[in-house]
Amino acid sequence: MLRELKREHHITYLALVDGSAGQSERTLANQYCHELICVPHTTRPKFSAGFYIELAGNLLSDLPYFMKKYQSSKMTETIESLLKRDEFDVLVCDFLQPSVNIPDRITTPTVLFQHNVEAMIWKRHYEVQSNPFKKKYLYNQWMKSRRYEQAACRRFDMVVTVSDSDEKQLRDEYGVRNVAAIPTGVDIDYFSPQDEISREPNNIVFTGSMDWLPNEDAMQYFIREVLPAIRQKLPATTLTVVGRDPYPSLIELSKSLEGIEVTGRVDDVRPYIARASVFIVPIRIGGGTRLKIYEAMAMGTPVVSTTVGAEGLPLENGKDLLIADTPADLAGAVTGLLTNPQTAREMGLRSAKLMQEHYGWKNVARVFANVCDSAVASGNGLR
């Protein structure tokens, strides 16, 4: 979307960086912005001693941990300096986390781009957790998230969501008045059918950042409760989990079972999607919309998802994808596609056509730009 916006608007991109980005990623950023400003920032590695100390210490903080860890006085100072240096039409805060670093009062019109209702994610973590100690901690994070998110959304001139359901939730639960939903899109030039790559029979794939808890939960759930039922009918079924920084527990689980590959970070997810016979999104926790579903559909790979996984997407169950929520139903949906390749192929072709015709980023960027124009016309900056 930024690449499309850059064609008609001057984009200054400000980001926290931990030093892990290579030159190729910085070069890639030039496609999205005219000016890239990096602010050094480090966070504790997950599962380190310092990480657990921070988790415990967060019980005394007003901010939830996923916000506190990105708090940066240097970022706040850099934003203030930029706003004094140049006259920007609008400040866009992408995701809730960076909002913790925006100065208390600015006169530039502001937009908060909410990719999820974050408190809902923590609520769902709390609801599915069985460990009593973890459940209590997750309740604490949920309550903090809800308080912060409500206050933050009310500060901005305009809030953007990626689904009508998220828009309604912000209006009903947080009392946010200036909120608008924009459609989700996909890079239809990058994600397109790759007919030169053959589908591997009985291969299932999942893609996503594996350091994100909802993705970790989804894979643990699928491997433990769904995959065994699939293998009862199709013993040769394989699963490929593609995404950066998988939890050690998932790696250990994959090593204990045959036919499961956890790749870690890859340069290009497309070959994995193109080889798969079914793309799965067994997410139980989350909000916003799943871009991965559109990516798989654009490549012609049939999708099986939970209701939560496909939440907010204007897709028709049974036509565009299959929706299933219990382990038995998920197993049945996946098995049905694996044993009926013609049905799977027809669903994939319909999905790819739908993405090509309606969900390219150019249209989405135009809608987003119109929302920003509204914020500029009526906004007074942060209150």
pLDDT of residue 19: 82
278, 254 Cβ separation under 8 angstroms? no
326-351: pLDDT as tens digits = 999 999 999 999 999 999 999 999 99
201, 275 Cβ separation under 8 angstroms? no
295-337: pLDDT as tens digits = 999 999 999 999 999 987 889 999 999 999 999 999 999 999 9
10-39: pLDDT as tens digits = 999 999 999 877 777 777 778 899 999 999
Confidence class for position 378, pLDDT limits 50, 70, 90: confident
Q: Do strands 278-281 and 238-242 pair parallel, antiparallel, or not at all (unpaired)? A: unpaired
Q: How far apart are the C-alpha atoms of 246 and 264, rounded to whole Å?
A: 6
- Which residue blocks in 156-247 are alpha helix, DSSP H? 164-174, 213-221, 227-233
Compute and round to an integer the Cα radius of gyration of the chain. 21
**Mean pLDDT over residues 343-361, rounded?**
93
157, 379 Cβ separation under 8 angstroms? yes
Of 167, 118, 116, the C-alpha closest to 141 is: 118
pLDDT of residue 287: 62
Confidence class for position 289, pLDDT limits 50, 70, 90: low
Of 321, 326, 372, 316, the C-alpha closest to 348 is: 321
Counting Cα atoms < 13 Å in the Cβ hemisphere of 149 gives 27
Asked if the model's pLDDT at residue 288 lies above 60, the reply is: no
Structure tokens at 333: 């949906």
Give, in degrees to the nearest 5, the angle at Cα 270 between 299 and 320: 25
Asked if the model's pLDDT at residue 258 lies above 90, the reply is: yes
The torsion angles phi and psi of 185, rounded to 5 degrees, stand at -130, 180
Which strand (E) or helix (H) includes residue 341? helix 341-358
Question: How far are the Cα atoms of 77, 134, 346, 348 from residue 302, in angstroms, in the given order?
Answer: 47, 36, 9, 5
Q: How far apart are the C-alpha atoms of 113 and 160, rounded to whole Å?
A: 5
71-107: pLDDT as tens digits = 999 999 999 999 998 889 999 999 999 999 999 889 9
**Mean pLDDT over residues 241-250, rounded?**
94
Which percentage of the chain shows pLDDT scores above 70? 98
Going 127 to 317 to 361 to 263, the CA torsion angle's sign is positive
**Mean pLDDT over residues 145-161, rounded?**
95
241, 262 Cβ separation under 8 angstroms? yes
pLDDT of residue 221: 96
Question: Domains in the chain, start-ordered, CATH in brackets?
Answer: 2-185+362-378 (3.40.50), 203-359 (3.40.50.2000)
Q: How far apart are the C-alpha atoms of 32 and 17, rounded to whole Å?
A: 16
172, 164 Cβ separation under 8 angstroms? no
What pTM value is reported for the model?
Answer: 0.75
Q: How far apart are the C-alpha atoms of 207 and 86, rounded to whole Å?
A: 40
